[in-house]
A and B are shown apart, each in its own frame.
Chain A
Amino acid sequence: MTTLLEEQVQAKVDLPLLANIHQAVELDEYYVMGHRTCAGCGPALSYRLACKAAGPNSIFLGPTGCMYVANTSYLCVPWAVPWMHTQITDAGAVVSGISAAYEARIRKGKYKGTFPNIYVFAGDGGSSDIGIQAASAMMYRDHDAIFICYDNECYSNTGIQTSAQTPYGAWTTFTPPGPKIPEAKKLFPKDFARGMIALHPAMQYAAAASISYPVDYMNKVRKAANIHGAALVHVHAICPKGWGLRANQVLLCGKLAVETGTFHLFEYENGEYTYQYQPKAFKPVTEYLKIQDRFAHLKPEHHQKIQEFINQGLKRCGIKIPVEAV
Chain B
Amino acid sequence: MANEDVKVGRQAEEDKGALGDSRPGTIKFLTGLGAAAHALRMADIDVASSYPIRPYTGVMMMLSMMAARGELDLEFVHGEGEHGQLGIAHGASSAGARAMTGSSGVGVVYAMEVYSPISGGRCPVQMVIADRTLDPPGDFGSEHTDALSTRDQGWMLGWAHTPQEVFDNTLMYYRIGEDPRVYLPQMNCQDGYFISHIPQRVVVPTQEEVNSFLPPLEFPDALDPLNPLGHGPQIFPGQGHVLEATRVNAMMGTFPVIDEVVNDFNKRFGTSYDPFVEQYKCSDAEYVIFISGGHAFTGKFAVDHMREKGMKIGLVRTRWVRPWPTDYLADILSKFKAIGVVETNNSFGAARQCGILTLEVATTLYQCDNKPVLTAFMAGLGGEVIRLDEFYYMGDVLKDAAAKGSTERTAYWIGFHNV
A positions within 8 Å CB-CB of B = 5-6, 9, 56-59, 61, 68-69, 72-77, 79-87, 89-105, 107-108, 110-111, 113, 116, 133-134, 136-137, 140-141
Decide: A83 and B88 in contact? CB cutoff 8 A.
no
Decide: B84 and A90 in contact? CB cutoff 8 A.
yes
Contact indicator per residue, chain B 77-109, by CB within 8 Å of chain A (1) or not (0): 111110111111111111111010000000000
Decide: B91 and A95 in contact? CB cutoff 8 A.
yes
Question: Which of B203-211, B222-230, B395-403 binds A?
Answer: B222-230
Decide: A101 and B234 in contact? CB cutoff 8 A.
no
Decide: B233 and A101 in contact? CB cutoff 8 A.
no
In the complex, what residues of A have CB within 8 A of residue B226's CB?
5-6, 9, 113
Decide: B114 and A90 in contact? CB cutoff 8 A.
yes
Given contacts A76-B230, A89-B113, 4 further A-B contacts (CB under 8 A): A82-B225, A82-B227, A93-B83, A105-B97
In the complex, what residues of B have CB within 8 A of residue A57's CB?
225
**In the complex the two chains form, what is the Cα distance from A105 to B92 in whole Å?**
10
Decide: A101 and B91 in contact? CB cutoff 8 A.
yes
B76 smallest CB distance to A (angstroms): 9
Our pick among B77, B227, B228 for the contact of A141 (Cβ within 8 Å) is B77
Decide: B227 and A72 in contact? CB cutoff 8 A.
no
Decide: B235 and A75 in contact? CB cutoff 8 A.
yes
Contact indicator per residue, chain B 43-67, by CB within 8 Å of chain A (1) or not (0): 0101101000000000000000000
B24 touches A (CB below 8 Å): no
Closest to B237 in A: A74
**In the complex the two chains form, what is the Cα distance from A9 to B91 in whole Å?**
20
Decide: A141 and B78 in contact? CB cutoff 8 A.
yes
B369 smallest CB distance to A (angstroms): 46
Given A95-B91, A96-B88; A137-B232 close (CB under 8 Å): no
**In the complex the two chains form, what is the Cα distance from A7 to B44 in whole Å?**
30
B331 touches A (CB below 8 Å): no
Closest to A113 in B: B226
Decide: A105 and B83 in contact? CB cutoff 8 A.
no
**In the complex the two chains form, what is the Cα distance from A116 to B239 in whole Å?**
33
Selected A-B contacts with CB under 8 Å, 13 pairs: A58-B225, A68-B234, A82-B223, A83-B231, A86-B87, A93-B84, A100-B88, A101-B95, A110-B96, A111-B224, A133-B83, A134-B84, A137-B80
Decide: A93 and B234 in contact? CB cutoff 8 A.
no
In the complex, what residues of A have CB within 8 A of residue B230's CB?
72, 76-77, 79, 82-84
Q: Which of B73, B121, B226, B229 has the most CB of A within 10 A?
A: B226
B270 touches A (CB below 8 Å): no
**In the complex the two chains form, what is the Cα distance from A85 to B84 in whole Å?**
15
Decide: A111 and B87 in contact? CB cutoff 8 A.
no
Decide: A101 and B87 in contact? CB cutoff 8 A.
no
Closest to B95 in A: A101
Our pick among A5, A73, A84, A93 for the contact of B80 (Cβ within 8 Å) is A93
In the complex, what residues of B have CB within 8 A of residue A79's CB?
228, 230
**In the complex the two chains form, what is the Cα distance from A136 to B84 in whole Å?**
11
**In the complex the two chains form, what is the Cα distance from A103 to B99 in whole Å?**
13
In the complex, what residues of B have CB within 8 A of residue A75's CB?
233-236, 239
Contact indicator per residue, chain B 22-58, by CB within 8 Å of chain A (1) or not (0): 0000000000000000000000101101000000000
Closest to A145 in B: B91
Closest to B117 in A: A87
In the complex, what residues of B have CB within 8 A of residue A85's CB?
117, 231-233
Decide: A97 and B89 in contact? CB cutoff 8 A.
yes
Decide: B80 and A104 in contact? CB cutoff 8 A.
no
Q: How many residues of chain B get a CB closer than 8 Å to chain A's CBs?
A: 49
In the complex, what residues of A have CB within 8 A of residue B236's CB?
74-75
B75 touches A (CB below 8 Å): yes
8 tightest A-B contacts by CB?
A97-B91, A93-B87, A77-B230, A72-B233, A90-B87, A137-B80, A85-B232, A101-B97
B216 touches A (CB below 8 Å): yes
B285 touches A (CB below 8 Å): no
Decide: B77 and A97 in contact? CB cutoff 8 A.
yes
Decide: B225 and A59 in contact? CB cutoff 8 A.
yes
B195 smallest CB distance to A (angstroms): 28
Decide: A97 and B47 in contact? CB cutoff 8 A.
yes
B74 touches A (CB below 8 Å): yes
Closest to A83 in B: B230
Decide: B231 and A94 in contact? CB cutoff 8 A.
no
Our pick among A80, A98, A101, A104 for the contact of B228 (Cβ within 8 Å) is A80
**In the complex the two chains form, what is the Cα distance from A96 to B100 in whole Å?**
14
In the complex, what residues of A have CB within 8 A of residue B81's CB?
133
In the complex, what residues of A have CB within 8 A of residue B79's CB?
93, 137
**In the complex the two chains form, what is the Cα distance from A74 to B235 in whole Å?**
5
**In the complex the two chains form, what is the Cα distance from A34 to B228 in whole Å?**
17
B271 smallest CB distance to A (angstroms): 29
In the complex, what residues of B have CB within 8 A of residue A83's CB?
228-231
Decide: B47 and A94 in contact? CB cutoff 8 A.
no
Contact indicator per residue, chain B 162-187, by CB within 8 Å of chain A (1) or not (0): 00000000000000000000000000
Decide: B225 and A105 in contact? CB cutoff 8 A.
no
Our pick among A80, A87, A97, A103 for the contact of B113 (Cβ within 8 Å) is A87
Our pick among B85, B113, B223 for the contact of A59 (Cβ within 8 Å) is B223
**In the complex the two chains form, what is the Cα distance from A76 to B235 in whole Å?**
8
B147 smallest CB distance to A (angstroms): 20
Given A75-B239, A87-B117; A100-B97 close (CB under 8 Å): yes
In the complex, what residues of B have CB within 8 A of residue A56's CB?
225
In the complex, what residues of B have CB within 8 A of residue A116's CB?
224-225
Given A82-B229, A89-B113, A110-B46; A104-B74 close (CB under 8 Å): yes
In the complex, what residues of A have CB within 8 A of residue B84's CB?
90, 92-93, 96, 133-134, 137
B270 smallest CB distance to A (angstroms): 30
**In the complex the two chains form, what is the Cα distance from A123 to B226 in whole Å?**
27
**In the complex the two chains form, what is the Cα distance from A17 to B316 in whole Å?**
67
A200 smallest CB distance to B (angstroms): 12
B216 smallest CB distance to A (angstroms): 7
**In the complex the two chains form, what is the Cα distance from A91 to B405 in whole Å?**
56
Closest to B81 in A: A133
**In the complex the two chains form, what is the Cα distance from A324 to B234 in whole Å?**
47
Given A85-B232, A101-B99; A94-B239 close (CB under 8 Å): no
Decide: A100 and B92 in contact? CB cutoff 8 A.
yes
In the complex, what residues of B have CB within 8 A of residue A134's CB?
80, 83-84, 87
**In the complex the two chains form, what is the Cα distance from A194 to B124 in whole Å?**
38
Decide: A84 and B223 in contact? CB cutoff 8 A.
yes
**In the complex the two chains form, what is the Cα distance from A73 to B232 in whole Å?**
11
In the complex, what residues of B have CB within 8 A of residue A72's CB?
230, 232-234
Decide: A89 and B83 in contact? CB cutoff 8 A.
yes
